[in-house]
């Protein structure tokens, strides 16, 4: 079958760069959008350099695509004003563009930080469910909760389906003991995006995004229900990370919650 065309926003970022390589083998042709220029486009990639504030550019970008994977935005903590512009207004503009273009499926990069103040589950206790109450740990996490609710509204009002993926930590390898529990390998990320793009009748669905980690903190069943079958586990990285950093201290405020240091001293967006 012909590849499906997907608009990938935030394509110049860390995750976007990984997905440019890992999504096409699942049968996608990518249209890339970012406010940062991309100068190494492959032959079958279209590139649009635009800010999420540029409604006309977004309208153009959404025209003719089968689906959107929305990664663009501020990915760490920042002032409320910056978060408002990029993540809240920006995501609204993206959904409006999709509605006008008749795009019927969006995958939204939500984050564990939408529920970051949820207490970290103790060993052996129940995993965090997707319907746990929102407990954002930052304005950043708050904006991800907004995105999930916007997705819900656009499903109920306009019939646009979204899978909101509360991504854990998607990097080539886990770099902290906390990440052992929420790591999403890039290859599993591509598998999860593919499942989210192809599963029938999702309406608006929230899922956690991680690999099948031995030390998992949350419930992956809604992700698996999309057809996602994670292949990776962070456990091979555990011994070395624990030797270097020690086990998570349950009495330390930084380690008491799902969001980790975002709850105490969040990393800040540098721009
Ligand atoms: P990143 O910061 O590396 O990439 C974000 C990209 O969005 C950048 O290339 C940036 O230029 C672009 N961008 C920001 N504001 C924009 C605007 N107003 N208009 C157009 N483009 C804009 O972040 P990363 O790690 O690649 O994450 C991608 C998405 O996934 C983000 O939405 C992030 O919040 C989310 N996420 C990522 C996680 C991870 O572990 N990498 C974990 C949880 C969520
Ligand atoms: C996120 O939401 C960030 O975008 C990413 O850079 C990581 O910090 C990740 O969460 C995490 O919690 O490790």
Q: What is the pLDDT of residue 20?
A: 98
pLDDT at 150 over 80: yes
Strands 28-34 and 105-111: unpaired
**Substitution site in 71, 72, 75 for ligand 2 pocket (most atoms within 8 Å of beta carbon):** 75
CATH number of 4-263: 3.40.50.720
H-run or E-run covering 223: helix 221-224
**Mean pLDDT over each residue of the chain, to the nearest integer:** 97
- Looking at the CA of 182, name the nearest ligand: 2
Q: Which of 111, 116, 148 to mutate to test the pocket of ligand 2 (most atoms within 8 A of CB)?
A: 111
Task: Please indicate whether residue 70, judged by its CB atom, sits closer than 6 Å to ligand 2.
Answer: no
Q: Ligand 1 atom closest to Cα of 76?
A: 34
pLDDT at 124 over 80: no
Q: What is the mean pLDDT of residues 138-142?
A: 98
User: 18 falls in which pLDDT band (50, 70, 90)?
Assistant: very high
Which residues have a Cβ under 8 Å from the Cβ of 151 and sit 6 or more positions away? 95, 106, 108, 160, 162, 164, 204
Q: Among 131-135, 226-230, 249-253, whose mean pLDDT is lowest?
A: 249-253
Enzyme catalytic residues: 140
Q: Where are the domains of the chain?
A: 4-263
Report pLDDT for 2: 76
Q: Does the structure show a pLDDT above 80 at 56? A: yes
Report pLDDT digits (tens) over 212-243. Answer: 999 999 999 999 999 999 999 999 999 999 99
Using 50, 70 and 90 to split pLDDT, how confident is the model at 123?
confident
- Residue 168 Cα to ligand 2 middle (Å): 7
Residues contacting 35, CB < 8 A, separation 6+: 49, 50, 51, 52, 72
Mean of pLDDT values over 168-180: 98
Judge whether residue 50 has pLDDT over 80.
yes
pLDDT (0 to 100) of residue 122: 84
Report the nearest-CA residue for atom 15 of ligand 1: 73
Dihedral of the alpha carbons of 264, 174, 164, 203, in degrees to the nearest 10:
-140
Residue 84 has pLDDT above 90, yes or no: yes
Phi, psi (deg, nearest 5) at residue 15: -70, -40
Indicate if the pLDDT at residue 125 is higher than 90: no
| CB neighbour list of residue 269: distance below 8 Å, 6 or more residues apart | 74, 75, 76, 77, 78, 82, 140
Q: Ligand 1 pocket, 14 CB below 6 A?
A: yes
State in Å: Cα 126 to ligand 1 middle: 30
Residues written for the chain: 271
Please tell me the predicted confidence (pLDDT) of residue 191: 98
- How far is residue 270 from each of residues 76, 77, 238, measured CA to CA in Å? 9, 9, 30
């Amino acid at each position: 079958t012909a590849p499906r065309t997907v608009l990938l926003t935030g394509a110049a970022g860390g995750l976007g760069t990984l997905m440019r390589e890992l999504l096409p083998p699942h049968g996608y042709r990518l249209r890339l959008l970012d406010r940062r220029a991309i100068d190494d486009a492959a032959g079958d990639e279209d590139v649009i350099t635009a800010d999420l504030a540029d409604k006309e550019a977004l309208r153009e970008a959404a025209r003719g695509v089968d689906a959107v994977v929305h990664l663009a935005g501020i990915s760490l903590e920042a002032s409320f004003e910056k978060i408002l512009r990029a993540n809240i207004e920006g995501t609204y503009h993206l959904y409006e563009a999709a509605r006008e273009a008749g795009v019927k499926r969006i995958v939204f990069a939500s984050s564990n930080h939408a529920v970051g103040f949820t207490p970290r589950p103790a060993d052996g206790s129940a995993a965090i469910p997707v319907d746990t109450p929102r407990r954002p740990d930052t304005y950043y996490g708050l904006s991800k909760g907004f995105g999930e609710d916007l997705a819900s509204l656009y499903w109920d009002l306009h019939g646009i389906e979204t899978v909101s993926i509360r991504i854990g930590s998607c990097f080539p390898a886990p770099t902290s003991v906390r990440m052992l529990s929420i790591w999403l390998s890039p290859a599993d990320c591509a598998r999860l995006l593919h499942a989210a793009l192809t599963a029938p009748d999702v309406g608006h669905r929230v899922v956690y995004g991680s690999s099948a980690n031995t030390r998992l903190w949350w419930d992956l069943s809604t992700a698996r229900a999309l057809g996602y079958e994670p292949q990776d586990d962070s456990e091979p990285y555990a011994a070395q990370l624990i030797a270097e950093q020690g086990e998570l201290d349950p009495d330390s405020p930084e380690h008491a919650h799902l969001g980790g240091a975002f709850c105490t001293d969040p990393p800040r967006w540098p721009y």
